[in-house]
Amino acid sequence: MRTRILFTLLAIFLFVSAAHAQDAMSYKPAAAAQTGPMPILPACATAAVTDGDPAKPGSIIMLKIKAGCVIPQHWHTANERLVIISGSAHAAMKGMPATELSAGDFLFLPGKGIHLFHAVTDVVLYDISDAPFDIHYVDFNGKEITPAEAFKK
């Protein structure tokens, strides 16, 4: 009986401690974000991890994409949620008309859905992923190609 009480108290303590740790606020000013190149993105797009680890589920990446930059046709394993902070762009998913995006807009892209992104002006956005971040470029027939091949077009 005593062991059961001690175990219950320990479990409550661990639960409360874990819940309290999750309640901590985290602040990262956008202006201080140091974006850099990612070999899987065109040179006209830079990125910085805002929260989490892109190799694990549940990360947020800030992207800065220069005017005129195109991220060619590609897909991700994860569902992707984009929040446009500034600028304007077009996004298109295969088989659907292009969508115009501007500051404050939200876009959901389902996992494995082939899409592309074109920055009309300089764009800053947050990319929220619910699985490890990956990117698979494809040609117009849907065949996977390397980033180098995708960027040549």
* pLDDT score of 53: 95
Q: What percent of the chain lies above the pLDDT cut of 70?
A: 85
Check the CA dihedral 118-121-124-125 and report its sign.
negative
Residue in 72, 91, 73 with CA at minimum distance from that of residue 82: 91
d(CA 81, CA 78): 10
* Per-residue pLDDT tens digits for 66-78: 999 999 999 999 9
* Per-residue pLDDT tens digits for 75-112: 999 999 999 999 999 999 999 999 999 999 999 999 99
Confidence of residue 22 (pLDDT cuts 50, 70, 90): low
